[in-house]
Amino acid sequence: MPDGDFLDLGWVGEGNSPLVLILHGLNGSINSHYVNGLLQMILQRGWRGVLMHFRGCSNEPNRLAKSYHSGETGDINTVISEILNREPKVQLYVVGYSLGGNVLLKALGTDAIAKYITAAVAISVPFELNKTADHVSKGLSKFYQWYLVRGLIYKYKQKFKTNKSLLNTDVNKIGTFWNFDNDVTAPLHGFRDAADYYYKSSSRQYLIKIETPTLIIHAKNDPFTPLNSLPQTDDISDQVLLELCDTGGHVGFVTGKYPWSATYWLEQKICSFFDKFTFESR
């Protein structure tokens, strides 16, 4: 990377076929079930796929004190620029899940690199980060918060196991997203506090500026996202299609009458959306 850090990318496929860049969710990696499902579907279609690990998410701590967050689009810009340097005529699609979806939508609405993306899909996005942080602090959603925050603390401790942290905070006492983002994310990435980070990084405010054909898939019963944070018609541009499902949870969307013969509807939906633009360009 330009700042001396590094990213690990996982590639599948070969040739000059369309390329799908995948952005995983919080604490995700090449081992995440949703990433593997999409990569398999991409291979079956004869396409290529590349999973971009956010900094520190590939089983090796990144070099710098900062890592990644819901509004960091610089690394995506660098990766896409490198892809374009290698393949100027590549047909490029981008898929983002959860945190990765928020990063993708923000980039589409703010960054010039968006004009090189043929089409995009964002799934289970936390459109307003402050409302998501509040929502997962209540009811059954607290379990998801506990699990994910534990993962963030583990990675933080691994990174600073041998190098002294720049922060004067006891991460073992952190129990919520608000606490972690206020004490760790914000100071490491130049935000005033968690509220400032959430305000500047939330993707809902950027949807109206998107000019790339984009499909957003979201479930009304997503345990991370309160209904009052979902974008309305006036929030999105005419290039954005918002598909709200009654069920699907968080990055779920499995159909089928019986558990042993489930159909992974989401992967099919993503590729079908991209097909519309692939055929038009041939």
Among candidate residues 98, 141, 202, 229, the one labeled active-site is 98
Q: Is 129 helix (H, G, I), strand (E, B) or coil?
A: helix
Render 148-197 in DSSP notation, one character per residue.
HHHHHHHHHHHHTSSS--SS---GGG--SHHHHIIIIIHHHHT-SSHHHH
Q: Parallel, antiparallel, or unpaired for β 263-264 and 254-255?
A: antiparallel
Based on the residue annotation, tell me whether 98 is a catalytic residue of this protein.
yes
Q: Is 44 helix (H, G, I), strand (E, B) or coil?
A: helix
Render 229-268 in DSSP notation, one character per residue.
GS--GGGS-TTEEEEEESS-TTTT-EE-SSGGG-EEHHHH
CA distance 100 to 251: 12
Retrieve residue 160's tokens.
């600073």
Place of tokens 């959860």: 98
**250-251-256 Cα angle (round to 5):** 105
Retrieve residue 265's tokens.
């509807």
The catalytic site residues sit at 98, 222, 250
